[in-house]
């Protein structure tokens, strides 16, 4: 083989190796960047300490005392025959959620008109045109028991009791905590569910790891200044906890607080770095963090 040909072959081999090395470096760099981006994605966790002790109830039109009696009888029968436990199992156990359809409002029909805020999973939420959730399945069962057609009116949470007070709806079913000032608009049924508020933080937050009680958590939160930010769903107990409430005995937090139309938006803002903390009801807190973490 001539020396010229040998040199040409050698140069080709070197160039080929260089190209492969450069290609490999690019792939390694892209993979490393991808892994870095993945590891930088934030997730959230719920601090498993009940900050409040609440009771959910349904808010009935004050001008329909007979409906209030029927609702209370229905709550009692659900607990006695196990149907309430069965509904809860659809959302807290191994059961399957059941779709609930809403009829169109028609004044000429015998209908049960329910006010809700369908952004409060697992108590009320939507998939497509159907409603799901503990309250929605109860609403359907109640309407069937009364022999009425079910109509669901979806609205902002802070309008739910008002709509019943204005006689636009018969009953509010929206993970509604019994609270004295809401009795201006509705008559509360007997309680059907025990609830609480819980704190949500990013998964890398360790400042509450040693907390054992609600007072331990509250002491840390009360020490925060206005440079820290906390979010909640507008109109809920979470707002009262953050902004202070005499009925509950809540002392206003010094942090900058922000209300959201639903808890999902608040937790998403936490993950986006716009909030330091979120306070919402326990069951939605668990559902929301699980759903958003799965998307990260």
pLDDT tens-digit map of 266-285: 999 999 999 999 999 999 99
Domains of the chain in sequence order: 41-51+196-295 (3.40.190.10), 55-195 (3.40.190.10)
What size, in residues, is the chain? Answer: 296
- How many angstroms separate the CA atoms of 248 and 66, rounded? 30
Beta bridge partners, 113, equal 151
Token digits of residue 117: 């805020």
Which of 201, 74, 190 minimizes the C-alpha distance to 141?
74
**Angle 135-156-280 from CA coordinates, rounded to 5°:** 70
pLDDT tens-digit map of 72-104: 999 999 999 999 999 999 999 999 999 999 999
- How many angstroms separate the CA atoms of 103 and 100, rounded? 10
Q: Please report, in tens digits, the pLDDT of each residue of the chain (296 residues total).
A: 433 343 343 434 433 433 333 434 444 444 444 444 444 689 999 999 999 999 999 999 999 999 999 999 999 999 999 999 999 999 999 999 999 999 999 999 999 999 999 999 999 999 999 999 999 999 999 999 999 999 999 999 999 999 999 999 999 999 999 999 999 999 999 999 999 999 999 999 999 999 999 999 999 999 999 999 999 999 999 999 999 999 889 999 999 999 999 999 999 999 999 999 999 999 999 999 999 999 98
- How many angstroms separate the CA atoms of 48 and 267, rounded? 16
């Amino acid at each position: 083989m001539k020396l010229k040909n040998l040199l040409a072959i050698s140069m080709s081999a070197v160039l080929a190796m260089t190209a492969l090395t450069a290609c490999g470096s690019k792939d390694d760099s892209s993979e490393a960047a991808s892994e870095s981006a993945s590891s930088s994605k934030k997730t959230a966790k719920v601090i498993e300490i009940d900050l409040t002790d609440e009771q959910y109830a349904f808010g009935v039109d004050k001008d329909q005392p007979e409906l209030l009696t029927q609702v209370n009888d229905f709550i009692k029968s659900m607990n006695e025959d196990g149907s309430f436990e069965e509904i809860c199992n659809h959302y807290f156990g191994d059961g399957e959620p059941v779709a609930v359809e809403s009829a169109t409002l028609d004044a000429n029909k015998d209908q049960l008109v329910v006010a809700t805020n369908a952004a409060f999973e697992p108590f009320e939420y939507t998939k497509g045109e159907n409603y799901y959730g503990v309250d929605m399945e109860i609403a359907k069962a109640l309407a069937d028991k009364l022999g009425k057609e079910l109509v669901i009116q979806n609205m902002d949470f802070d309008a739910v009791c008002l709509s019943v007070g204005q006689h636009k709806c018969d009953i509010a079913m929206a993970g509604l905590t019994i609270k004295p000032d809401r009795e201006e608009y509705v008559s509360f049924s007997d309680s059907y569910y025990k609830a609480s508020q819980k704190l949500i933080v990013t998964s890398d937050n360790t400042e509450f790891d040693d907390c054992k009680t609600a007072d331990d958590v509250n002491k840390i939160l009360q020490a925060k200044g206005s440079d820290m930010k906390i979010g909640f769903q507008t109109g809920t107990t979470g707002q009262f906890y953050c902004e202070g409430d005499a009925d509950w005995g809540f002392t206003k937090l010094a942090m900058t607080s922000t209300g959201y139309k639903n808890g999902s938006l608040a937790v998403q803002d936490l993950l986006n770095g716009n909030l330091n903390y979120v306070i919402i009801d326990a069951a939605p807190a668990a559902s929301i963090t699980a759903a958003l973490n799965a998307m990260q």
